[in-house]
Amino acid sequence: MIASLHSPLATELAARYPATHPVGDWVRAHLSPFGAFTVNALLALALTTVFVSLTALFLVWMERKVCARFQLRLGPNRVGPFGLLQTLADGAKLFLKESFMPREADFFVYHLAPLIPITSSFMVFCVLPFDHHIQIADPQGGLIYLAAFLGMGVFGVLLAGWASNNKYSLLGGMRSGAQMIAYEISYVLCLLLIVLASGSASTRDIVLAQHGTVLNWWLFKLPGCGALGFLIFLISSTAELHRAPFDIAEAESELTGGFHTEYSGMGFSMFFLSEYSNLFVAAGLGTTLFLGGFLAPQFGLGPLDRALDLVPGFAWFLLKVYGLIYLYMWLRWTFPRLRVDQLMALEWKFLLPLALGNLAIAAVLVTLGWLLP
Amino acid sequence: MSTAEATVALPPGFAPAAEGSREAEAYFLNMGPQHPSTHGVLRLVVRLDGETVLGVVPHPGYIHRGIEKMGENMTVLQYLHLTDRMDYLSALFNSHSVCLAVEQALGLGVPERAEYIRVIMSELQRIASHMLWWGVFGMDLGAITTFFYGFRDHEFISQLFEQVCGARLTLNYFRPGGVAQDVPADFVPQVKKIIAQTRRSLDEFDRLLTQNVIIQERTRGIGVLPPERALSYGCSGAVLRASGVSFDIRKHNPYSLYDRFDFEVPLGKNGDCFDRYEVRLREMAQSVRILEQAVTQFPAAGPWRAKEPAHYKLPAGAWFHWVEAARGAFGTFLVADGGAKPVRIKNRSPGFSNLSVLDELARGAKLADLVTILSTLDIVVPDIDR
């Protein structure tokens, strides 16, 4: 735990995991402060855009492959090696398609809605620590910023459902709104749990607070509470992502396409893109909060630990993230969907009290210092 | 005058709502004829209050081809292949009931071997049909993976059908007096393989879906059909048996060789969606039991079709025979006046009467329950529209 920003441990960690990247340093050394800021910001923007697009492309392919294997199929295997370029081909098709708008739809809101979820997803990407020196921004209130922008995504879905002027879309949008508001609470309570344990809301500090062996990850270090918090986080983030068994907003068998029934072409692909970048964000957040983020897993065995430490931090981060993503996919392709009222009952009657109780117990544990050594 | 205007504004089939009632606040949602879960081209108009269903009016007829009317202009043998296009997921039962009616009319006997072939093929068809239903049921509840598992096992049976008669879906295999052609030499070993595979699959189905807590939550106590209502609507098949009414034509009015086999009629207790689901799974196990007995008793050699008159005419009179199809009682009513073509053919399809309970079951349920209920009623739209 980082008790103070100026404690010896914090200083040692800051020295071992420097926050500045060599490229950024080089830019800062050669340009005026304002110029360096502009160039670094543009670099970060370009990197994020490329990374989000590539990740979404890869995740769509991965989801299709994974679900195909669950379903005794092969999945895409025609376009490119192992069908890797299939998503690109589909993207080109979506790009060339006519963007059709229903006559009675609200023009401004209808076109605004697909942009909101993807924007919020980009904003959240900025505070994810990919490595100790690969993080665009590290605000002190990182998790509060995160909660705010994660909550923004629901507006896109809600507005899309309303603006389409279709009863299926409206039902999907309303369902989604109710669902997001409900599950946001237990989601944020999980974030609070970690803020409480780490003594900081900065994502970088949260990762550094888990420095040490695997047992120092918040998943294990908070006895019981960490594991329960992780479980609640998994459930509520699945709900936030609208993935089965919580995909009631687009429930294909009842609502055809739910909130995106009336979207085609680029509007649809924006929703699709945000769905997958949000998947990455949720898994990245789970990794940062509970699984030690970019830190290499250490088992207290000298040579093995040193070998694992040689692997760069972002590789560990991506490995953990993709492990979690696989878990999300596994859940999605195994479970049937819950009904709307059952979904609400699960949150309000079960998850919310559980998360609150968990937080209270964790507060006692942290105060008494009853953590794993 | 104002009442008349209100009636015009409502979709057909709905009564105008009383002032201040819950219905007055409701809106209408059109599901289908193109919709992922209306199983083909069924159109439902739903009166909704938020997510709660206040009433459903089904609009069948989008795939009406006038099969029964066409039957008046052709011989019975020509009509046989049209029957496959009614309930295309269990095509054999349709032609079986026509064959039985014609055999009654002509006083035609069926060789023992042909009867065994019919029983084995029918039970395989029942398993195939139920497996497909199981897959689609999972998909209707949001578990898309089950669809592929259902289809995998359906595929083994389809392949055997292809070897036996060259077709996979519209088999056109039964004929008055027997079947169209003999079965291939390795028919019995193949059926045994399918029996073993089906046993494994049923086990897998249980683990994947039946014991799932979400399935239990979403089907128990949903769409409860009391036995007296089921009888008054003329329901049959698993829909009726799930309500606890023991009615299986194979057992209670045995045709073909069904009195030779030892099998049970699975019954439900509550008549809810879960009972309808479970009854179908247990029916598959019973079909496997029948298959095992039929395979051991299967005569190694013998004729597969009775000698029948080359250009026979149906004697004047009226005949009816029904069979226990995968979805319930399928009957054929045949009227002839002594000519080669029947004067009137009427088919009694299980789907039509099973669909008619939908409104009663769905009232007060949620929109998602409507899909569950429709799925457990297991309708095939071409069978309703004919």
Give residue-wise pLDDT tens across range A161-190. Answer: 888 888 888 888 888 888 888 888 888 898
Residue of A69, A235, A253 to mutate, testing the B interface (most B Cβ within 10 Å of its Cβ): A253
Q: Could you give the CA distance from residue B116 to residue B114 in angstroms, rounded to a whole number?
A: 5
Contact at CB, B212 and A335, closer than 8 angstroms: yes
Residue of B141, B152, B205 to mutate, testing the A interface (most A Cβ within 10 Å of its Cβ): B141
The answer to whether residues A115 and A154 touch, using CB atoms and an 8 Å cutoff, is no
* Minimal C-alpha gap between A333 and chain B (Å): 6
The answer to whether residues A163 and A263 touch, using CB atoms and an 8 Å cutoff, is no
Q: Show residues of chain B in contact with A247, CB under 8 Å.
A: 142
Residue in B closest to A166 by C-alpha? B29
| Domains, chain B, with CATH or none | 3-59 (no CATH), 110-311 (1.10.645.10)
The answer to whether residues A62 and A328 touch, using CB atoms and an 8 Å cutoff, is no
DSSP class of residue A229 equals H
* Minimal C-alpha gap between A102 and chain B (Å): 17
* Minimal C-alpha gap between A235 and chain B (Å): 14
Residue of B28, B148, B208 to mutate, testing the A interface (most A Cβ within 10 Å of its Cβ): B148
* Minimal C-alpha gap between A71 and chain B (Å): 5
Angle at B144 between CA B238 and CA B291, to 5 degrees: 40
Of the candidates B36, B142, B148, the beta carbon closest to that of A337 is on B142
Q: A91, A88, A47, A85: which is closest to A270 by C-alpha?
A: A91
Look up the ipTM and state it.
Answer: 0.80
Q: What is the pTM of this model?
A: 0.85
State residue B124's pLDDT score: 92
Q: Could you give the CA distance from residue A118 to residue B204 in angstroms, rounded to a whole number?
A: 40
Cβ within 8 Å of A, B 47-76: 51
State residue B126's pLDDT score: 92
Q: For chain A, how far is it from start to end, CA to CA, in angstroms? A: 11
Own/partner pairs, A41-49, CB within 8 angstroms, 24+ separation: A44/A126, A44/A136, A48/A122, A48/A125, A48/A126, A48/A136
Kindly give the residue spans of alpha helices, DSSP state H, lying in chain B: 2-9, 67-71, 76-83, 91-106, 112-140, 144-165, 187-205, 213-219, 227-232, 238-242, 249-252, 273-297, 350-355, 358-362, 367-377, 381-385
Mean pLDDT of chain B: 86
Q: What is the pLDDT of residues A357-370, one digit of tens each?
A: 998 988 888 888 77
Q: What is the pLDDT of residues A286-307, one digit of tens each?
A: 998 888 888 888 787 778 878 7
The answer to whether residues B56 and B358 touch, using CB atoms and an 8 Å cutoff, is yes
Please list, in sequence order, all residues whose beta carbon lies within 8 angstroms of the beta carbon of residue B299, skipping any fewer than 6 positions away.
B112, B113, B116
The answer to whether residues A325 and A283 touch, using CB atoms and an 8 Å cutoff, is yes
Q: What is the pLDDT of residues A221-280, one digit of tens each?
A: 888 888 888 999 999 988 888 887 888 777 666 777 777 888 877 888 888 888 888 899
Q: Could you give the CA distance from residue A353 to residue B15 in angstroms, rounded to a whole number?
A: 45
Please list, in sequence order, all residues whose beta carbon lies within 8 angstroms of the beta carbon of residue A15, skipping any fewer than 6 positions away.
none
Number of A–B residue contacts, CB under 8 Å: 81
Least confident of B22-36, B203-217, B284-298: B22-36
- Beta pairing class for B174-175 and B178-179: antiparallel
State residue A152's pLDDT score: 85
Q: How many alpha carbons lie under 13 Å from residue B119 in its C-beta half-sphere?
A: 30
Of the candidates A70, A245, A251, the beta carbon closest to that of B368 is on A251
Q: What is the pLDDT of residues B92-107, one digit of tens each?
A: 999 999 999 988 888 8
Q: Show residues of chain B in contact with A335, CB under 8 Å.
A: 142-143, 212, 214
Contact at CB, B144 and A333, closer than 8 angstroms: yes
Whether A6 shows a pLDDT value over 80: the answer reads no
Q: Show residues of chain B in contact with A331, CB under 8 Å.
A: none
Q: What is the pLDDT of residues B104-138, one digit of tens each?
A: 888 888 888 899 999 999 999 999 999 999 988 98
Contact at CB, A253 and B141, closer than 8 angstroms: yes
Q: Show residues of chain B in contact with A336, CB under 8 Å.
A: 138, 141-143, 209, 212, 214-215, 218
Structure-model confidence comparison of residues A372 and B284, the more confident one = B284
- Residue A2 confidence class, pLDDT cut points 50, 70, 90: very low
Q: Could you give the CA distance from residue B382 to residue B386 in angstroms, rounded to a whole number?
A: 5
State residue A243's pLDDT score: 82
Mean pLDDT of chain A: 84
H or E stretch covering A8: helix A8-16
Cβ within 8 Å of A, B 97-156: 138-145, 147-149, 152
Of the candidates B148, B368, B371, the beta carbon closest to that of A340 is on B368
The answer to whether residues A241 and A176 touch, using CB atoms and an 8 Å cutoff, is no
The number of helix segments (H) and strand segments (E) in chain B equals 16, 8
Q: Which residues of chain A approach chain B closer than 8 Å at the C-beta?
A: 67, 70-73, 167-168, 171, 175, 244-245, 247-248, 251-254, 256, 333-342
